Structure 1
Amino acid sequence: YNMGSCVLRAVGDTKRPLYFLITSSLLNIVLDLLFVVVFHWGIAGVAVATVLSQAVSAMLVCAALMRAEEAYKLRIKSIRMDMALCRRILLLGLPIGVQQSLTAFSNAFVQSYINAFGSAAIMAGWSCHIKIDQFCILPVMSIGQSVTTFVSQNLGAKKLERAKAGVRTAIYMGTGLLILICVILACTSGQLVKLFNRDAEVVYYGVLFVWLTIPFRFFSAWNQTYAGALRGSGNTKASMLIMLFGLVICRQVYLYGITRFVNNVYTVGLGYPVGWICCGLLSRWYYKHSGWEETYIGQEKI
């Protein structure tokens, strides 16, 4: 499903992957109820329901590709391993995979600083904040993925200025969207935390962590959009290094240093925003001043 939906999104078809995912999710819910409540299969029933719903989404996206008449049409009998293309895909995709893996690993270290306080309420509050953060970042991540497709298509069509205009528009959209999300967070943070835990002390720390991050969230729009633009130009190494420096190295250096002098929930809670700020500023500087577009043109990719 992921591979097929990426192909469809790359040619501008973003609706059908969404429809297939909605279908798969609804089927998963129905099968969960059927296998667990009716057949009493327990955990095994949940697993079977998940696999079957994923298989359906995969079949739907493959059917869409097989019925296409354009160049991306899927022909099962024509599938072959092209080593040259495989190498190019790995060169583009491997840095992204490394970046995501190390960023997740870094987040585990942030959790260790929270755990050091030894308070179950603080740890639970942080967990609630992380769940809310994951929802907040999804819209700008989607914008970043769209920018990757938009930039690559326009560079391929030799429309460099249109690609840059798309990036600017995406920055405005992402920043505005995050400002709106922050306003909603500010008004409903207590209610949102209570969706996960209703203990008064947990709610207090969950709201505290949410409010600590609100003023800095718009930097995530810069991170995701500029990274998406660089990936669209084929420069995945630069986006990987910027993300790792900002979200891993800067964040860990800050936490290690600040906890030696002022070790409290406020300073540790600001660890996430420090990473966003460093990554956002560096991403913007690199995009504006590195001459990435000249490098791309020099490689005769457009």
Structure 2
Amino acid sequence: MANKNVELMRGEPEIAVRKLTIPIMISMLLTASYNIVDGVWIAGLGQAAIAGIGFVTPIFMILNGFSIGLGNGATSSISRAVGAKDHERASKSATHSLLIFLAASILLTFILIVIQEPLLKTYGASGQSLVEGIKYGTPLFLGLFGFMFANGGSGILRGEGDMKRAMYAIIVSVILNFVLDPVFIYVLNLGSAGAALATIVSSIGSALVIMYWILIKKDTYVHVTFKGFKFDSNIVKDILKVGIPSSLDMFMMSIAMSFYLMFISSVGGEYGIAAFTSGQRLYLFGIMPLTAIGSAVAAVSGSAFGARNWDYLRRTHSYGTKFAMAVSMVILFILVVFAPQLALIFAYTPETSVLIPEITRFLQIACFGLLLVGIGMPSSFMYQGIGRGTTSLAWTIIRELIFTVSFTYLFGMVFNWGLLGIWVGLAVGRILASILNFIYAKYTIRKLKPEMDG
């Protein structure tokens, strides 16, 4: 299995991107269903619970982002070693990655538990929404290691092109979450905390499956062993030069999310936060296929870069962009046309039904940002694949903190368009930044030609 995956990574880039995307896409859609399923069950707890969990979202993005980011670092390091046909280095990268995941789990758990309440208050949480936010956040942060090893372990599998088993592990996790959510939330009467516990137990299940394949069954391309282990600072730097910027990608997005929440809270109060939280779940669900294509582009770009094959790198980015654009058009159509029906998913109770018009308006306006995110996302992932994590981070800052925050503030606060202006700003900022990112990616690839051909 592993050898076939590796050969696919080294073969025709268009075929590799297409074949690797499908299992990643399924995995990410299933992962995103965590939020959808949680949202459906939490809707029955009332508006305060929805808003409280919405306030936790930026912190959760940090938690999940670091695990995904470090996994991306492992993917990049391993895939470049695969392209260079250096099996020993690929195995060492996987071994060091697991130790990095462990250290990061311990450190981040402590930090997030300490800062959660002050941050929630900064975002505008108070009263019952603050209580619900803490009830949801505390178990989530205590179980961070589950996310770290599930997402990080998936990164190791992606690095060697083994997307299918990464998908199987996610299926285990989603089934557990689907079963445990109603049990923990309603049967055991744990409320918001029950939703978090269900998510954590499910992620641990996924992590255990992946660790079984890597550490016990040992049928992966990489060979992980701690017998005679020798720390290699160069390998750690190679992983972290992509892993840290990639982790900070989500951190920067969470900072941007903090601004959005503050703007929304000031013009729309708890009602606006609840509508945004529900609509954002669907937006994030919709963006998952584009992230999947980007992840495939990162793996194949890394292999092409490691093999010093400039034409394959160019073709990987070009095909990934076209593929993502086509998929984004379909997603946008679904979210816009079926917005009223989709809004019902999170507003099916008498108390929350008042949210339907605003959730619908969010989907029909803010989601237009997907129109050109399809050309920006593969570009950002291509930077990660070739080991330029800081470039990817820079474009996240440009897109979310510079462009999108500025336009949401301009339309929502300065022009006094309220929630409508914030939804417009989300779309305009992301579209403009994605266009610039694509142009810069093309420039970067052209500049690499002499270096890679030489």
TM-aligned CA deviation for residue 27 of structure 1:
3.5
- Higher deviation after alignment, 87-96 or 112-121: 112-121
The code of the aligned residue for 1:240 comes to: L
CA contact (8 A) 2:241 2:387 kept: no
Which whole-Å CA distance do the structure 2 matches of 1:3 and 1:228 have between them? 16
Matched, 1:213 2:363: no
Change (3 A) 1:30 1:150: same
Q: How many pairs does the alignment contain? A: 299
Which whole-Å CA distance do the structure 2 matches of 1:219 and 1:28 have between them? 32
Corresponding residue for 1:3? Answer: 152
Corresponding residue for 1:267? Answer: 421
Matched, 1:230 2:383: yes
1:99 to 239, 246, 249: 249
Which whole-Å CA distance do the structure 1 matches of 2:243 and 2:314 have between them? 23
Alignment of 1:164-175 (within 5 A): 164-175=314-325
Which whole-Å CA distance do the structure 2 matches of 1:210 and 1:49 have between them? 28
Which structure 1 segments of 5+ residues have no match?
Answer: none
Which whole-Å CA distance do the structure 2 matches of 1:45 and 1:301 have between them? 55
Change (3 A) 1:223 1:74: same
TM-aligned CA deviation for residue 97 of structure 1:
1.6
The code of the aligned residue for 1:8 comes to: L
Instruction: Indicate the percent of aligned positions where both proteins have the same amino acid.
Output: 22
Which whole-Å CA distance do the structure 1 matches of 2:263 and 2:275 have between them? 14
Corresponding residue for 1:131? Answer: 281
TM-aligned CA deviation for residue 189 of structure 1:
0.6
Which whole-Å CA distance do the structure 1 matches of 2:180 and 2:361 have between them? 39
Q: TM-score, normalised by structure 2?
A: 0.59
Corresponding residue for 1:63? Answer: 212
TM-aligned CA deviation for residue 257 of structure 1:
3.5
TM-aligned CA deviation for residue 69 of structure 1:
5.6
Which whole-Å CA distance do the structure 1 matches of 2:312 and 2:280 have between them? 36
Which one has a larger percent helix, Structure 1 or Structure 2?
2
Matched, 1:81 2:235: no
Alignment of 1:17-166 (within 5 A): 17-30=166-179, 40=188, 42=190, 52-66=201-215, 67-68=217-218, 72-166=222-316
CA contact (8 A) 1:251 1:271 kept: yes
Change (3 A) 1:46 1:257: closer
Change (3 A) 1:49 1:106: closer
TM-aligned CA deviation for residue 174 of structure 1:
1.1
Q: Secondary structure at the match of 1:217?
A: helix
Corresponding residue for 1:187? Answer: 337
TM-aligned CA deviation for residue 65 of structure 1:
2.1
Corresponding residue for 1:248? Answer: 401
Which whole-Å CA distance do the structure 2 matches of 1:200 and 1:60 have between them? 40
The code of the aligned residue for 1:218 comes to: L
- Higher deviation after alignment, 199-208 or 221-230: 199-208
TM-aligned CA deviation for residue 140 of structure 1:
0.4
TM-aligned CA deviation for residue 63 of structure 1:
2.5
Change (3 A) 1:293 1:93: farther
The code of the aligned residue for 1:11 comes to: E
Q: Secondary structure at the match of 2:224?
A: coil
Which structure 2 segments of 5+ residues have no match?
Answer: 1-149
Change (3 A) 1:5 1:195: same
CA contact (8 A) 2:322 2:375 kept: no
TM-aligned CA deviation for residue 160 of structure 1:
1.7
CA contact (8 A) 1:242 1:282 kept: no
TM-aligned CA deviation for residue 240 of structure 1:
1.0
TM-aligned CA deviation for residue 226 of structure 1:
0.4
Change (3 A) 1:126 1:62: closer
